[in-house]
Amino acid sequence: MGMMELMAVQPRMAAVLDSAVVDGDVRVVATLRALGDHLSLDLMAVDASGGSVNVVDRLGDGFAAVTSPLMDLADEHRAASYVPGAGSWFVGVFTLSVGGGLEVETDFDSAPLTGSYPVARRVDCVRELEMFPRSEANIPGWLAEGVVSGA
């Protein structure tokens, strides 16, 4: 994997995000947090006044048509982002500006923990290092600790 795959994945992510846009949105922001096989998604739309709305709530029963492909593409993006010895990202923020392009920010170090997923479970920490091996110098403290003492 690598840069070519990233170039292929990102337009597909932009297209899925674009499908969630409604009149009045200025941007749609997908925040993905990943650890091992665990992936969580926050999807927000922002209007011109800066107000934001949860896109999943707004889509109602149709949310899976947007969230499922986004989760699959996030898995592909993580794999394509892998740097041998340095791992892949734990937190990815994908911002589609309406009438503009896709901006991507990825974080290879910060714990991907949220209110709904507050603890780095040992099984996920171990799986992460199986999927995306890191040299010792590139294993963040929270991840090393999770491998040893996680629940």
SS3 content of the chain, % helix, strand, coil (to 5): 45, 30, 25
Residue 56 near residue 62 (C-beta atoms within 8 A): no
pLDDT value, residue 147: 86
pLDDT value, residue 146: 87
Domain 3-145 has CATH 3.20.20.100: no
Number of H helices, E strands in the chain: 5, 5
User: What predicted TM-score, i.e. pTM, was given to this entire model?
Assistant: 0.92
pLDDT tens digits, 82-125: 999 999 999 999 999 998 899 999 999 999 987 767 778 899 99
- Which residues in the chain land under pLDDT 70? 1-2, 116, 150-151
Residue 42 near residue 31 (C-beta atoms within 8 A): yes
Q: Where are the domains of the chain?
A: 3-145
pLDDT value, residue 120: 81
pLDDT value, residue 113: 85
pLDDT value, residue 119: 75
pLDDT value, residue 2: 64
